[in-house]
Amino acid sequence: MAGSLIVKNIETYYGPIMAIRGVSLEVRAGQIVTLLGANGAGKTTVLKTISGAMEPQKGSVDLDGEPIVNLDPDVIARRGIAHVPEGREVFPFLSVEENLLMGAYSRKDKGVRNDLHAVYDYFPVLLEKRAQAAGFLSGGQQQMLAIGRALMLAPRIMLLDEPSLGLSPKYVAEIASIITRLNQERGITVLLVEQNVKVALDISEYGYVMENGRIVMEDTTERLKQATDIQEFYLGMKDEGVRGGRRWKQRKTWR
């Protein structure tokens, strides 16, 4: 199961507003790559452009060497890209199990039952609540359901948009460990957008930083953690001078 993704120079608009100003990034098969950036930087738009929910004006997106740009989102999903959107988009009036089975709607193979059991193994709480309407689950459980449903697609690559948004620290840790396990045990490539920068840097190998619709920095997460900009802007570490103030020269902005 491969799952390499090459995004080249995409430009995406919301009406007249240019949300993505030429973004290129690469996710190699089997990697976990994270996309960081402040609110409104365009991270979600990049994911939507990859999964086909938005069409770019320019640029290309290749999945394992095949161009997928301008295909319908359901076609792209069937090609093996599972997008877990921000805000736990479940089917609220369907039961948990129906939600999961809908994840495998396009599959005809015999592995669906196995994958259902695998999802219940990863998320035992879903097995407990399998007959309940998904709308009645808690936020964290809905997030697990959304990830589980994406897993049912047997994807080559998963796009995760803010999986820890609004979750308690316990759920954040659990979801982070599940993402790592999915990557290692099932070989699923992951492109992760996350507000919780510390967690994101901990579980991924490589990272991109976005500002105002552009990539402004990219490196291995080891080195990103050392970068002073990342430390200041995202991890809240401040290097305070002897006099307790900061020199004006160090104060910089990307805006």
Partner 1 sequence: MEVLQILISGVSQGCVYGLIAMGFVLIYKATEMVNFAQGELMMLGAYLAYTFINVLGMSYIPGFIATVISMAIIGVVIERGVLRPMIGEPPFAVLMITIGLGFILRAVAGAIWGTETKTLSNPFTGSVARISDLSVGYENLAIIVGTLTLCVTFYLFFRFTRLGIAMQAASQNQLAAYYVGIPVKRIYSLVWALSASLAAVAGVLVAPVSLLEPVMGFIGIKAFCAAIVGGFGSLPGAILGGLIVGVAEQFANLYLPPGIAATTAYVMLLVMLLVRPQGLFASIQQKKV
Instruction: Return residues touching partner 1 (CB under 8 A).
Output: 51-53, 72-74, 77-78, 82-85, 89-94, 98-99, 101-103, 105-106, 146, 149-150, 152-153
- Of residues 24, 3, 5, 6, the one with CA closest to residue 213: 24
Smallest gap from residue 7 Cβ to partner 1 (A): 18
**By C-beta, is 39 or 253 nearer to partner 1?**
39
Output the smallest distance, CB 23 to partner 1, in A: 21
Nearer to partner 1, 152 or 215 (CB): 152
Cα-based distances in Å from 191 to 4, 43, 56, 230: 10, 11, 19, 19
Query: What is the torsion angle, in degrees rounded to the nearest 10, for the CA atoms of residue 214, residue 218, residue 221 and residue 225?
Result: -80
User: What is the rounded distance in angstroms from the CA atom of residue 163 to the CA atom of residue 193?
Assistant: 8
CB of 77 or CB of 193, closer to partner 1 = 77
Q: Which residues of 7-25 are buried (b: 16+ CB within 10 A; e: fewer)?
A: beebbbeeeeeebbeebeb
- 83 or 230: CB nearest partner 1: 83
Measured from the CB of residue 67, what is the shortest distance to partner 1 in angstroms?
A: 19
Q: How far is the CB of 87 from partner 1 (least distance, A)?
A: 8
